[in-house]
Amino acid sequence: AIEALKPEIDIIVATPSNEIYRKVLDQRWRAVKLPYRGRDVISTIQEALVLALDKSYISEGDEVVVLGSTPAWEASSLFFYSVDRETLNLSLYEFLRNIHIKQEIFQTVLEIAMEIGREGREGRLIGTAFIIGDENDIMKRSKQIILNPFKGHSIEERVITSPKIKETVKEFSQLDGVFVISKDGIIQSAGVYINVDTGSAELPQGLGARHAAVAALTAEVDCIGITVSQSGGIVRVFKNGKVTLTIEPQKRIFISKF
């Protein structure tokens, strides 16, 4: 259907499907990889436009026609958007701009965290966390509590964006501690204990020690923390000591908090 459109029309395809995303790129169309499908068509479209804005596919002031679809890929709705701060959650765009981490790396880790939150491991829900940033700054405030399962492996074998590593990460997510991932997307370690003062961490009620440690670390170091709660599989993104994003993978609900 896309091929039938006039060549002067600028087409951007947004999808949470890895298979469709790769096919679109193979056809040399512009594509946006959604880390999740939003709770409804409107929220999904808005997140897609924010990510397209971050990739400079669109700009503020552009006018965009959006064709929405159901999970079965049936065309279900047609929307007209003017790209501005009143119609989009540009705070998410600003967040992506300010984290100093490649969007692909952030989205990959978020996607893995969501799969863990939704599927668990071996039939049970598990809790884990990922820290993305300067590994030296992170490890100065952390310690290895078990033998590092990634030690001795080549850089090529530790690239978080490689599809080959996903199941390994999911398996090691059952270990105590957190994953440490460099800004370049290289997994440095798993089974790491964060050793920081958690007294000043700003947390919603009900969150435990793992969340407090991740929050406190992101307050001290320029890094991003992503946690998966064992209770309910809820995924939270931390920056500057605070929760900035909350996602319920089981319900596919996205909540932004800026």
Q: Characterize the bridge pairing of strands 12-15 and 30-33.
A: parallel
Res 7: pLDDT: 55
| The pLDDT of residue 5 is above 90 | no
DSSP 183-194: TTSBEEEEEEEE
Q: Give the residue with greater pLDDT, 200 vs 217.
A: 217
| The pLDDT of residue 143 is above 70 | yes
Q: Give the residue with greater pLDDT, 215 vs 10.
A: 215
Tell the residue number behind the tokens 């959006």, with chain if given: 66
Mean pLDDT of 191-214: 87
Mean pLDDT of 129-140: 96
Res 89: pLDDT: 59
- Whole-number percent of the chain with pLDDT over 90: 39
Res 74: pLDDT: 53
Segment 60-69, tens digit of pLDDT:
888 888 877 6
Q: How much is the mean pLDDT over the chain?
A: 83
Mean pLDDT of 28-37: 79
Q: Give the residue with greater pLDDT, 11 vs 90.
A: 11
Domains along the sequence of the chain with CATH: 2-94 (3.40.1380.20), 99-256 (3.40.1700.10)
Axis-axis angle for helices 41-54, 90-98 (nearest 10): 40
If one counts every other C-beta atom within 10 angstroms of the C-beta of residue 158, the result is 20
CA–CA dist 104, 173 (Å, integer): 21
| The pLDDT of residue 255 is above 60 | no
